[in-house]
A and B are shown apart, each in its own frame.
Chain A
Amino acid sequence: MQGTVQSHTIIRVPDKSHAAMAPFVLLLVELANGKRVLGHFHGASPPAIGSRVTAETSEQTIPVFREEMP
């Protein structure tokens, strides 16, 4: 799963079910087919808006993205 970062945040005050993960990066990613998804990110700081990212696996419910190397 590949796409472009539309926006990002670092969630520091999560809801109860994500409390153990915080702080964590949440990305809004536009996929090549135009569909948008929310995903997590490997890393403490989000990639810049416009960056290309790839999800490690398409099997997970919530994709976990990694920044593509140029």
Chain B
Amino acid sequence: MKTRRILPLALALILIVGMLAACGADPADIGPTATPGALPTPPVVTPPPIIEDTPTDSVLLELGLDENLRFLETRKITVAVFDRGNDGGSPPDDNVFSNWIKEQVLETHNIEIEWVRIGRWTGTDDYSRLFAANAVPDIGYEYDFEIFMRAFSEMGGILDMYPYLSEYSNIFPHLFDFLGTEFIYWNMDPETNAVYAFPGKVMEVSPVGTFMREDWLDILGLDEPRTIQEFEDCLVAFKDNAELLLGENADRMVPYMMSHDVRWQYRPLLDGYLPSGLSERDIYVNGSLEQLLTHPANKETIRTLNKWYNMGLMWYDFGLYTNETLGSIVDDRIRQGHVGAYNGNIDAPYRGGENSHQAKLQEFVGPDAAYIAISPFPNDSGEVSRLISQAVDRFIFFPSTNTEPIASLLYIDFITRREVREYLQIGEEGINHILHDNGAVEKLPATGEWIQNSPDNIDYTITINVSNAAPSLGDPLREGLSRALAFPGTDSAYVARTFAVNQDPATLRAMPNFSLGTIEAESGIIVDLNTKRNNMFVNAIVAAPADFDAVYDAGMQDLMASGLRAAVDERIARWELYYGDAEFISE
């Protein structure tokens, strides 16, 4: 099959149809179990109602605001902004967009803002230093709630936003309209009602994708694999036909590429081993570490990888390249055309323009070489069911040194306005994007002062994270059309296929938000446990098959003894306290 030759118009239509199917519902709205529906509402957390009435004059006066929510006297706040230090980028605190925000916020709310740079890749270290100096910006954001936010809230360093959010919700209409109470009270403590942070919304949560060489399947006359066994058969066929497929480079054949980051890349395979009747209790009780580590399906998944490794289907060196400076070696092997299958983001082969995996592959191997998205890991019921993470993004918090919580929330309300975030995402027409007649937005690689330091300026639009190359325009059709233009140089059929395969709502199951409060036993140990888990996975995979059980079990015992047992026990106790012996809590 040579899908590249299909008419571009037809492919764009496929893409749009796929997009409409996939994006019709917010991932947060993809329900648990087999019945996609509303986000589960745990009975233990009852968010306060949103105040619909217009704020009274006395309330406004008390807060120092006029009827247009503009402060009578200028307020000053400091706001964090990620500094990515990207080549050719502009100063994140002094560029067209940051200055536009400053002007607009001053004009709209009479709030003067000062940016504080936080290293994108050193954020938690930077915040630690700023916390120690009581100099954290009034509005901070960071991805890591469970470890970072929790540690500093326990130290008394983070402000409880609940009183302001619950009492003045009618002052922040855009924020409540966009995030809703589900997100704003996402981490509300069920006992104290404290809200130390709330997350931004990820507009599209995707599972990890699986990709396979389409041209190799064609050469060997193989069908696209649809089961774990068929997937293995394909890998074996690639290995056995290495000379045919790679010629003099046959010894560099890697049928299935995986890096040391097993816990993420094995996710599609794990979905195949998780039982179809996986209960919400199972998800909660096994949820101390990512991927439900304590669930038995993990061991079977790693056992399969151990088998493949010992069959020579995986890269012998995969566990060694942990240093980020050498991480590109894995990508390079994929680009060079030595890899039969791999896992990655759902657009992994196609993102990156002329440097994408696919573009480089075709440059090195030829125009027929291509990776296609596949879905070969059904569960015990024969259906593909993919447990995807919650649609939460960075967590926004105020340090306890923040003396302007209302001004800070008004800033967030401003940045959440539809027109504001859309402008920041797509920038200036003719400079940052082209607006097509059909409404599609084609992003342009702006340079100089108009450059966007982060994709779609997500470092400023902190309540929203668009993903997978399409700006959030509030219209699935426009978003689909825009996405079709977002992978220059890649046949859109491949892009359409990966979104159709990986965003099929019938196969996606979103993790519920249980909101049962913090687990004391997990305090201060999660990073350590994650490291132990990662090491255990690699060591179990490279073990001789006869040693697999011993290596895996020893690793799990170490994890359990290092605090995981206590965490699981506390989760079981907490579940029983709130839900008794119920297995499911969703409607």
Q: Note whether A and B form a binding pair.
A: no
